[in-house]
Amino acid sequence: MSTKTTNLDNLVRHDNEYHMNTYGRLPVTFVKGKGSSLWDDTGREYLDLLCGIGVTNIGHCHPVVVEAVKSQVELLMHVSNLYYTKPQLELAKKLTEISFGDKCFFANSGAEANEGAIKLARRYAKLNGKEEAYEIITALNSFHGRTMKTLAATGQPDKQKPFEPMPPGFKHVPLNDIDALKKEINEKTCAVMLEPIQGEGGVYPCDEDYLKEVRALCDERNILLIFDEVQTGIGRTGTMFAYEGFGVTPDVMTLAKGTGSGLPIGVLVASEKASVFSPGEHGSTFGGGPVICAAALATIKVIEAEGLLENCRNVGAYFMQKLEDLKASTNAIKEVRGRGLMLAAELVQDNAKDIVLALLKEGIVANNIGGNILRFLPPLCITETEIDAATEVLARLLV
Ligand SMILES: Cc1ncc(COP(=O)(O)O)c(C=O)c1O
């Protein structure tokens, strides 16, 4: 038995003994990351095409972020949100400068940011004279988080079933079907919440025309349009926020994954009209702490300074073409979807998990959604050469 197997066996045993089994982990222990590379505990290098599910967007352990975190850790790690801190104010200012938003609220995760958006939408309705409006319409197949409210918002019955009854206040409609949405909107509706590209559901983009019609409908009814950009935000689709690429501006946007380069953060970004929380109505002990805000600020500055949005668009288009070529040259791919570096290949067979495991054996980290979807969320700094190497392996595995 190799040392590697022994180490892994021990870890799996430990994990089974001490950790709730909710993830279905893959057989590898990572100990180091740099740029688009990860290393396991045997020293083997891997090409990371997943970024911890769209989190380490600027590559692992970017020196600018590492330095920002180190400096802040030495200076001040926590003080209550009862006081002002410079990194928080600077991050809020930066996020509003680079987006439609006028105000931010900081939380600790995507689900928590979405919880904030749900509360904000209900508050907005009440302040606009709609006491009875509390329902939020989301899309079937959407994913908005694992807390009870965000699970209720998630349009995937199989994820809800084990925890029923769901909290009330959510309706689900088919994506890209404006008539279905029109039918469900009524005097009880306070918001529509959509992912511009459904991530966990399998990388299904909204149609631009659909989003424009949804925007018009929300304006007409004076209800809020919330974009869940937890996965699409922070450069992932080739613009800093996906809404820019779709040409439709929401009233509220939530961010998380890529924002802190791996440290936990959730952000609620809202237009002036939607920024309706008053003191005492919302809060978080850790949200917007100085260390995470320093990390997020550095992350955004790196994206700007290193031209990562442009690289994301260029290499994303290159990767997409490579996947389309594979679709044409094998009979294994049914459809290629996505934008920027948020891509999926829907397979003909239900063997996506096997392909992911085979890729891992070849030193490539990717992900499957369900049985037949391969998902790729590489770092925004990935090169065409790295994509060539990955797609060569994929071509071998798909025949
Ligand atoms: C679109 C979207 N919203 C919300 C979430 C939940 O984020 P978190 O796991 O940080 O709570 C996710 C996570 O995958 C997501 O993709």
Q: Which of 54, 98, 22, 345 is nearest to 195 (CA)?
A: 54
4 given a catalytic annotation: no
Q: For each of the chain's 399 residues, which pLDDT tens digit applies?
A: 444 555 778 888 888 889 999 998 999 999 999 999 999 999 999 999 999 999 999 999 999 999 999 999 999 999 999 999 999 999 999 999 999 999 999 999 999 999 999 999 999 999 999 999 999 999 999 999 999 999 999 999 999 999 999 999 999 999 999 999 999 999 999 999 999 999 999 999 999 999 999 999 999 999 999 999 999 999 999 999 999 999 999 999 999 999 999 999 999 999 999 999 999 999 999 999 999 999 999 999 999 999 999 999 999 999 999 999 999 999 999 999 999 999 999 999 999 999 999 999 999 999 999 999 999 999 999 999 999 999 999 999 998
The three-class DSSP label of residue 136 is strand
List Cβ neighbours of 353 (8 Å cut-off, separation of 6 or more). 368, 371
Q: Structure pTM?
A: 0.97
**∠225-168-189 over CA atoms, to 5°?**
35
Residue minimizing CA distance to atom 4 of ligand 1:
144
Task: Catalogue all structural domains in the chain, each as residue range(s) with its CATH number.
Answer: 63-305 (3.40.640.10)
277 given a catalytic annotation: no
Tell me the torsion sign for CA atoms 149, 154, 159, 161. Answer: positive
- Residues at CB less than 6 angstroms from ligand 1: 109-111, 114, 143-145, 195, 199-200, 228, 230-231, 256
* Active-site residue identified among 106, 143, 277, 319: 143
Cα 307 to ligand 1 centre (Å): 26
Q: Virtual CA dihedral for 316, 349, 370, 362, nearest 10 degrees?
A: -60
Cα first-last separation, the chain? 31
158 given a catalytic annotation: no
* Active-site residue identified among 105, 228, 319, 327: 228
DSSP codes of every residue in 299-322:
HHHHHHHTTHHHHHHHHHHHHHHH
Contact 397, 359 (CB under 8 A): yes
Cα 129 to ligand 1 centre (Å): 31
Residue 264 CB coordination number (10 Å):
19
Cα 396 to ligand 1 centre (Å): 33
